[in-house]
Structures are given as structure tokens and as C-alpha cells.
Amino acid sequence: MSRREYTPLDLGSLPSADFYDIESLLSAAEQAKLAQLREFLATEVAPHAVGWWNDAEFPAHLLPKIAALGLAAPDRRQFSHLFTGLVVAEMTRVDTSLATFFLVHHDLFVQALSDFGSAEQQERLLPDAVALRTTGAFALTEPDHGSDVAGGLVTTALKVEDDGGTHWVLNGAKRWIGNGTFCQHMLLWAKDAETGQVRGFFLDASLPGVERTKIEHKIALRTVQNAHIVLTDVKVVERDRVATVSSFEDTNKLLQGSRISVAWQAVGQQLAAFDVARAYAVERQQFGRPLAAFQMVQAQLVKMLGNATSSLMMMVRIAALQDAAEAAGTQGVAAEKHKGGSPSMAQVALAKAHTTGAMRETVAMGRSILGGNGIVTDYKMAKIFADAEAIYTYEGSHEINTLIAGRAITGISAIV
């Protein structure tokens, strides 16, 4: 039997993974900024990301260059939410760990300073944090409390009045704190030992009594430096308390925004899987022809692109709702009842659940297309496959987000 001759394809001649040209919805300035980010990621990150991941090392030398991109939380206010979402997706597409660092620092710590910090706290902490001369973390999760941390905070803050004025004494532990091993400050949440109210602190991570240990042996986000933190009689001055926070509802605005960003990460992770799988299928020869010439492989690639595209389209709508909310002067949790405005927590939960569920299927198919080469990081897919597990779980597990959406559509809570 004669075999058909196949001419090697130029991948650049094939359609983009942005199959419906969503990027055309961006302004010219936003498109140019996204191109600048892509150039940075292609030259400074892509060639090294697998090595950092294998060695579980964070590229601290990149921080000044990341700051120079002008994509800090305050800088992004001049752009649409679609642009900011695509920034997250594009970072994730190249390296999920770097994107996660970026989100923890900017979308949680810096955003909290901008939203809740006093004028004095902003003047003292914000310039260095925006410029990445200092880094921040978000310390909420505890060793025994993740999904139920809203009502299960064990870490305590005891208010003390003495001749030196007012200070707080913190005791407890935090776990899975991204950037926690090296950050200069962390937004740390604790329960008021006297009133039971939630308190927030812009904690100096070098204070006596703060013990930080790197979490080892991870199979995902190995470049991210997650910490287990123990607090023993840590004395925090009153000026470092987040004075505008008095309940967990205040944290929900931050968590809702972060959950949206993680759903965008799920989009980026699927685009990464599609990029690698398609390139491999076009180039890899089996039985005298490219893998892409087999019907089952084409079906998998189309399913992967369909998953990624449906996830992207859902996030485009979320971004439009965010933009509408800002135009209407509503924001965060307070906008839950504003019809046509900010996405509700249930809408965000559904987006996070759907996109991460689709992502899990997408990366599994991508790994399958690479066969045995899909289980070694040399071919990138193993890293993409493993990192997806973290996205599936953090910022509200798939199950919890499903139940939040389920509560909204049935009127019955299956959580508690």
C-alpha cells in the first residue's frame, strides 16, 4: 500500500486559538499592550518556565521587568475588564505559576490596599507594592479550614491597650499562602478574640513570632512559593490593622474578583493545552503520517478548542457585566441585587465551576494526544496537566462553586 505524502505545515499559517477573534473587541491601545505582554512572556518566561517549575524556584529577578509592564492593579483601571482578563489568560498560557504570583500580589494584596487601606497605609505601602519593590501575600486559608474558613477562622487577634497605645496579638496558623515564603507583607485575616468579628491586618512578615515554612513536594504550581505560617504572640501595631474591615463580607469583594481571575486562568490553561497539543499533532509522525491526520486526534483537538472557546465566551460576558457595573457606579458584593450590573457571586461561581471543569477535560485530552511524551515536562504538557489541578481547586473548589450556583438556581443551600 502506498502512503500519502504530507508536506510539513507552518503552524503560523493555521487559525489562532482565538477562533472567534475576541481580541478584536479590545481597543487599539489594549491590543498593543497585550502584544507587549506577549513579547515579554515569549522572551523572558517561555524559555525558562519548565526549568523553574522542575526546580521549584521562583524567578525573583523578573520582578522589576514585570513591574515595568504597567499592569499593576491600579494601572489596569484604565483598561476594560476584558483586557485585564485576557492578561491573566495570556500569562497563564505561558506559565500558570507566574500568573498565580501576579494574581496573589496584585489582585489580592495590592487591590486590598487600594480598596480598604487607609490614606496612611496606602502612602506607606502602596508605591513599593505597585512597583514590586516589595511583594505581598493574602493569608486567609488555615490548616483545618479552607472552604469553610468564612465561619471557621481559628487564628485570633487580641486587642491590647497599654501605656504604649493600642496593639493586637495574633496567634494561629495559615496554610497554602502563595508568595508566603518571601513576601514583605501579607494581608492576614483573623477573628477578634473578644467580639468574634473578622479583622484584617497588613502584617509585616518579618515580625517576631512569624514562622514561615515552604510547602514541599507539590505536583502543581511548583514555581509558586506556598508557605505554612505559624503565628505565636505576634504583636501588631494598630496602624497596621485594616480599619475599614469588620466582617467577612468585606473580604468577599476581593475573593469574587480573584475567583473571576482564576476562571480566566482556566481559559489560559486550555489555550496552552491546545497550543501544545496541536503543534505536537501536526509535527509528530506515526504510521507514516502526522497524528493530526487521524480522525480521532482531530476530534480531540476540536473538542479542546470548543471547551476553551466556550469558557472564553462565558468570561467575555462576565467582563461585560463588570464593565457595566462600573459604569453604573456599583461594585462587588453590594451589586448582587443590581440587575444588569456587576456579576453576582452565583454567576461568578458558575463561571469558575464551568471553566475549570472544561479545563480538566481539555488538559486530559491534550496529555493523551502526546502519549508517553505527555507525562514528562520536556514537552510542556505534563506541566500544563499538573497545574490545572491547582486551578481546579483554589479560589473555591469546583464542588463549592457548583453548590453556590446550585443554591442560586434552586433556592436551597446544600452547603450548610
Residues 43-66: b if buried by 16+ CB within 10 A, e if exposed:
ebbeeebbebbeebebbeebbeeb
- Comparison of pLDDT for 85 and 256, the residue scoring more: 85
Has residue 391 got a pLDDT over 80? yes
pLDDT at 308: 98
pLDDT at 384: 98
pLDDT at 25: 97
Has residue 47 got a pLDDT over 50? yes
User: In the chain, how many H helices and how many E strands?
Assistant: 13, 9
**Cβ pair 106, 153 in contact under 8 A:** no
Angle subtended by helix axes 249-283 and 381-393, to nearest 10 = 160
**Cβ pair 395, 259 in contact under 8 A:** yes
Name the E strands within 185-291: 185-192, 198-204, 210-214, 226-237, 285-286, 289-290
Alpha-carbon distance of 110 to 89, in angstroms, equals 20
Alpha-carbon distance of 161 to 166, in angstroms, equals 5
- DSSP letters spanning 65-93: HHHHT--STTGGGGS-HHHHHHHHHHHHH
Domain ranges of the chain: 15-130, 136-240, 249-410
Q: What is the pLDDT of residues 192-202, one digit of tens each?
A: 999 999 999 99
pLDDT more than 70, % of the chain = 94
Name the E strands within 8-79: none
On average, the pLDDT of the chain sits at 92
Alpha-carbon distance of 135 to 11, in angstroms, equals 39
- Report residue 406 as a C-alpha cell: 446550585
pLDDT band at 5 (very low <50, low <70, confident <90, very high): low
Residue 241, beta-bridge partner list: 201
One-letter identity of residue 362: T
pLDDT band at 26 (very low <50, low <70, confident <90, very high): very high
- DSSP letters spanning 358-383: HHHHHHHHHHHHTGGGGGSGGGSHHH
Q: What is the pLDDT of residues 247-296, one digit of tens each?
A: 777 777 778 889 999 999 999 999 999 999 999 999 998 998 999 999 99
Cα four-point dihedral sign 84, 88, 93, 94: positive
pLDDT at 330: 54
Does domain 15-130 match CATH 1.10.540.10?
A: yes
What is the CATH number that goes with domain 136-240?
2.40.110.10
Give domain 249-410's CATH superfamily. Answer: Butyryl-CoA Dehydrogenase, subunit A, domain 3 (1.20.140.10)
Alpha-carbon distance of 98 to 178, in angstroms, equals 11
Alpha-carbon distance of 157 to 176, in angstroms, equals 20
Residue recorded with cell 461594585: 331
Q: What pTM did the predictor assign?
A: 0.92
pLDDT band at 334 (very low <50, low <70, confident <90, very high): very low
